[in-house]
Homo-oligomer: A and B are copies of this chain.
Amino acid sequence: MTSKEKQTLRRQVAKLLVIRASGHNLDSLREYPQWELPNYQLQKLLEDGVGGVILHGGTFDEIQHRCAQLKSWSSQPIFLCADVEEGVGQRFQGGSWLPPPMALGMAYQKDSEEALKLAEEYGVSIGREARQCGLNWVLAPVCDVNTNPLNPVINMRSWSESPNAVKELTSAFLRGLTNQGVLGCAKHFPGHGDTSVDSHLELPVLNNDLPQLKDRELIPFKALIKDNVSSVMSAHLFLKKIDPIYPVTFSKKVLTHLLREEIGFQGLIITDALVMQAITKNYKSINSSSMAFEAGADLILMPEDAHEAIDSIVDLLISGRVSIRRLEESLERRNKALKHLDNSTDSIARKSHNPYDQASQEKEISCLSRKLIDISLECRNNIDISRFSRLINLIRVDDFHANSIVNRSSPALNIPHELGCINFITHSLGVSPWQNNSDEPLALDRFGDGSFLLQLFVRGNPFKGDAALREPWIQAVKQLQQNKRLAALIVYGSSYFWNELSAILEPSIPAAFCPAQMPLAQKKILEILFGSSIESEEFLSQSQFEFIN
């Protein structure tokens, strides 16, 4: 092979890569510089033929300009994708952030027809905003059936615990998404719902055999493939009964024999991010891209090093271990998906902002959010705030960097503050609220006198493992009840965590749950819980409570 032929081959292989970039266009604003290339390298890779970019971080406004910039750096059509499973606002500030899919699963149990309508709206609203940003590929829906309540990474990202509900809801979602001219992605094949390990941290091992998978996990994937979903993402799982040697992402048995041949999927197979520790803890980065390609993946998501990834696949092809025909097939699938994209996307995205339009669209989506919050929240009793001489508003979040949930204008902080509560935030880097006493784990002396309003933001968040569940909240709730110091409890996020807590909660304690964590959900819940206190202006003006902050 001449050096020129090799150069051509490298350019073809580069098309298979989807590399990571920050949504901010300034290098200094990258939030994860270990994964996000600086602009001069990014531009070079796109000029050299890299075929896709996954974006993370930045604002709605920035991402529009960023997408246009990335396109301008490439001489070919490229994929611009993002993990916006719950709305563009989940990754890009100022986009809409909807309640998690599980909220729709809960609605489905009550009224399946209404839930399916909402799931389609959910797809429409994400698809429309993604397209307006300049994205052409939404890495959703999650098709995993969340059969393990301790699942630390899928959890509320799943649409349901029932295979049939997941199937129906994701089909409706995909219909909505596709109508907006963006691609979707069924993930994480063949099903990541039955794990208790976060694949961002470790490689989960599953005992399920093929008949078990077919009975449960595969149902939604097969349905979406029938509905012509454009892509399927491989899970970083080790299915020891199906492939005792390789994890799914590197498994020919799973990707080629099962997904491509037996199920007959004709679209794009993309790996989950190769920088995840499920892979990096067990495989050298130099091998992972070529192993995934050899197993049957068409596209390689977030290889640790793009040049290394290209070289290793080129070597594989030159060695003859994988045929050039296989490369051509992957490229044909890529072309087909790109062609499928609505040509109108560009012109719509480039349309300049009109504040009135923007406002009306924000309103429409917050209307969907409101609906989903309303149908999924639970609330018992009201707080009669006049009963308490001092109320401690203790907010629990994962970490110090939880700005999308708790910031200066968050209702979780501001509504209780206006009612005279003393605010506390506890997070992984804060001074501990815990003492060494398993019966009375909460160190009450660190908060002063008074009763607690507990606001617990807990859901399975990637990279967090089961941090929240290791904190002794159940015992703390018991302790506060015994001391008659629990004024109210709110859980935002995991219904599993809520179920555990509500099982031990005294029926008279005001309590509420919502699967959503965003400010809109906080406002709704607090307005219900504090209902009468908020309405009584007299209370506000006469309040004798301390004000801090």
Contacts and interface: CB of A to CB of B under 8 A. Distances in A.
Contact of A62 (B59, B428, B548): B59
B447 A431 contact: yes
A446 B43 CA distance: 48
A403 interface: yes
A450 B425 CA distance: 25
B24 A94 contact: yes
A58 B413 CA distance: 22
A313 to B, nearest CB: 27
Contact-residue size bin, chain A (C-beta under 8 Å from the other chain) = 35 or more
A26 B60 contact: yes
Interface string A17-40: 000000011111111110000111
A359 B38 contact: yes
A69 interface: yes
Overall SS of chain A's interface: loop
Given A62-B61, A359-B38, A31 B447 contact: no
Interface stretch (A263-271, A320-328, A404-412, A498-506): A404-412
B39 A358 contact: yes
Given A27-B362, A29-B94, A43-B355, A428 B61 contact: no
A407 B24 CA distance: 16
A538 B426 CA distance: 35
A454 to B, nearest CB: 14
A424 interface: yes
Given A28-B362, A29-B94, A40-B359, A432 B446 contact: yes
A129 to B, nearest CB: 12
A93 interface: yes
A351 interface: no
A24 B61 contact: yes
Contact of A26 (B65, B94, B399): B94
A43 B408 CA distance: 25
Interface in A354-396: 355-356, 358-359, 362
A423 interface: yes
A353 B29 contact: no
A337 B302 CA distance: 52
A283 interface: no
Contacts of A32: 408-409
A395 B18 CA distance: 38
A484 interface: no
Contact of A549 (B27, B29, B426, B429): B429
Nearest to A436: B445
A549 B38 CA distance: 25
Given A406-B400, A430-B424, A65 B69 contact: no
Contact of A409 (B26, B33, B362): B33
Interface string A56-98: 0011111001000100000000000000000000000110000
A425 B429 contact: yes
Contacts of A424: 429-431
A401 interface: yes
Contacts of A399: 549
A61 B43 CA distance: 18
A433 interface: yes
Of listed A61, A62, A424, A446, residue having the most chain B CB within 10 A: A61
A453 to B, nearest CB: 14
A429 B423 contact: yes
Nearest to A60: B26
A322 to B, nearest CB: 35
Contacts of A38: 355, 359
Contacts of A428: 548-549
Nearest to A426: B431
Nearest to A93: B29
Interface of A: 24-33, 38-40, 43, 58-62, 65, 69, 93-94, 353, 355-356, 358-359, 362, 399-401, 403, 406-409, 413, 423-433, 443, 446-447, 548-549
16 contacts: A24-B61, A24-B94, A25-B353, A25-B355, A26-B60, A26-B362, A31-B409, A38-B355, A62-B62, A401-B408, A403-B403, A423-B429, A424-B429, A428-B549, A429-B549, A431-B432
Given A25-B61, A27-B355, A59-B59, 13 more contacts: A27-B362, A31-B409, A32-B409, A33-B409, A39-B358, A61-B62, A401-B403, A424-B429, A425-B429, A428-B549, A431-B447, A443-B446, A446-B446
